[in-house]
A = this chain, B = another copy of it.
Amino acid sequence: MPSNKAFGAENQQERLKMASWISGFTDGEGCFTVSVIENPTTRFGKQLFPEFVITQGAKSFNALLEIRQFFGCGSIVLNKRYDNHNEHLYRYCVRSVSELGEKIIPFFEKFPLRTHKQNDFLIFKKVVRMMARKEHLTEKGWNKILKFASKTNRKKSRF
């Protein structure tokens, strides 16, 4: 019978495999974006929404569940699709600045992306770090973040 130590090593290896799989899957299907959304109640009339997202068809819902379980944060949202689509979509997303800063970003520092998406991640990381330091509340910081946000891969602005 294997010792507890052996079990521990096995679990550690499984966790390493899962982590590296998530890094690869994110290189394929993941997205790091910073949206800018109209919100008249905020200081600059707009609000920043940094978001880490992985989208999958309903058939691969379980893979998103595994990812949420691994990170211990984020939510899975259903996007219903009709018209020429075989299945609905699910989005795993993490939006909280503290969870992005404490869980998602350190993870991708340890298990880095290998495609061009790494550039998006590096910009995203800068924005989240600035937001965590409340720099988006100053005009200088806000403008700097807007410049960074326009460079993230989806370039989404919801005005």
Which chain A residues have a beta carbon within 8 Å of chain B's beta carbons? 13, 16-30, 56-57, 59-60, 62-63, 66, 111, 114-117
Give the contacting residue for A114; candidates B13, B21, B114, B115; CB below 8 A.
B21
Q: How many copies does the complex hold?
A: 2
Q: In the complex, A63→B17 CA distance in Å?
A: 18
Q: Which residues of the partner chain B approach A28 to less than 8 Å between Cβ atoms?
A: 24-30
With A16-B17, A16-B20, A56-B115 already in contact, 11 other A-B pairs whose C-beta atoms are closer than 8 Å: A16-B16, A20-B21, A21-B23, A25-B28, A27-B60, A28-B29, A28-B30, A59-B115, A59-B116, A62-B114, A63-B115
| A29, B62: Cα distance in complex, Å | 18
**Contact (Cβ within 8 A) A17 B111:** yes
A25 to chain B, nearest CB (A): 4
